[in-house]
A = this chain, B = another copy of it.
Amino acid sequence: MRVMVGGTFDPLHAGHKKLLVHSFQAAGSGGDVTIGITTDAFAGSKTHPVRPYAERMHEIEEFIRESGVAAEWHIEPLSDRFGSALEADFDVLVVSEETYPVAVEINERRRNLGRKEVDIHEIRCVLAEDGRRISSTRIHRGEIDRYGRVIR
């Protein structure tokens, strides 16, 4: 299967890792995964500071290499919320609950462009020690670390 997944991935936390691992599982050993990473300009609209693209990309590359996953993969910059997902020939879009609406929008636009719609895998967030979601915002606020441990 050809799978796409995207995000800002800063810092790469347990929820992001779950998304990435699922993407490779869904692709299978003969498949491929395209990982979109928001550009610094696009990620600049976040409410918290974001580390440079190269650093975020490096962290993802390292995680993928350590995971021993089998599918082909490549990284592309996302300068808007769609990236190449409107045009690319692929099968599955992997999203979180928060980004599910973007997946619906991508399918609507693909339909209008006469392109095949894609399956959507909506992966649950990983919960932190306190039972609430792990998110970059919470990590940046200093509430939890990237593993979901509460910072006291």
Contacts and interface: CB of A to CB of B under 8 A. Distances in A.
Interface of A: 22, 26, 107, 116-124
Contact of A117 (B22, B118, B124): B124
A122 B119 contact: yes
Query: Chain A's interface: helix, strand, loop or mixed, by majority?
Result: mixed
A107 B121 CA distance: 15
Contacts of A117: 124
A119 B100 CA distance: 12
Contacts of A119: 22, 121-124
Contacts of A123: 119
Contacts of A124: 107, 116-119
